[in-house]
Amino acid sequence: MTSLWSSLIPLIVGGAVVPIQIIITVMLLRSSAGKLTAVAWVAGMTAVRLVQGLLFGLVFGSVETSSTATGGPGTAIWVLLLALAVMFYVTAAKNLLKHPDEDAPPPKWMAMIEGVRPGKAFALGAGVLGIGAKFWVFTLGAIAAIADAGLGSAAAIGIFILFVVLTESIHLILLVIAFALPERSAGVLDSVNATLKKYNRVIMIVLGLVFGTWFLIKALSGFGLF
């Protein structure tokens, strides 16, 4: 279990600390469209992750069953960890070079946030997760790590749902603050928004270098090269 969480925690942090997504949540909570649009936006991201878990959990479950029969984890697990390492390093390099984030929503999506309705907000959340390559790799990496742990079906499903909740924990906390403290939340949300805009690049560089190195070591160890 320790080995499983050593793989999941970097994926959770990498998926949770995505400044542009948090900024969108704040913008929706502060928009004239109302708080339900922010709920719909988060629900869209959640739906995609759950569908990915359902579909690819079956795939990796069958891969793990096959690898267990041959006496060891499948090569696919280590390949995914290596892909994660590369993904984090690429993210860090692009932020160092001030390249635009290709996983960020297109400008026209950002422009419509002020007047977006819940249906479109749900589609926006699903679309961001659906077209973002690194978000696919994060979720697939989590599914592969859970499959490699050899847990029972109920435990594997529970761990994956916990992964989804923790990955979206910042958004969920912001939603709770906005609904529970409507009068005080404006200042908190504005502060979060300003901080993320200011330190966006620094956050992504640090995450990319730290977690890229972590997954590179795990992948090389799996291949017997480290």
pLDDT digits (tens, 9 = 90+) for 72-112: 445 667 787 888 889 889 889 988 888 776 656 666 666 67
Domain region containing 71: 2-222
- pLDDT value of position 7: 84
In this prediction, residue 51 carries a pLDDT of 93
% of the chain with per-residue pLDDT over 90: 30
Output the average pLDDT for the chain. Answer: 84
Q: What is the pLDDT of residues 60-69, one digit of tens each?
A: 555 455 454 4
Tens digit of each residue's pLDDT (9 = 90 or more) over 22-53: 989 998 998 877 789 999 999 999 999 999 98
What pLDDT, on the 0 to 100 scale, is given for residue 61?
58
Annotate the chain with DSSP letters as a single string: -HHHHHHHHHHHHHHH--HHHHHHHHHHHHSTT-HHHHHHHHHHHHHHHHHHHHHHHHHHHHHHHHHHHTTS--HHHHHHHHHHHHHHHHHHHHHHTT---TTSPPHHHHHTGGG--HHHHHHHHHHHHHH-HHHHHHHHHHHHHHHHTT--HHHHHHHHHHHHHHHTHHHHHHHHHHHH-TTTHHHHHHHHHHHHHHHHHHHHHHHHHHHHHHHHHHHHHHTT--
Q: Count the domains in the chain.
A: 1
This prediction has a pTM of 0.82
pLDDT digits (tens, 9 = 90+) for 2-19: 778 888 998 899 899 888
Q: What is the reported pLDDT for 103? A: 59
Residue 148 reports pLDDT greater than 70: yes
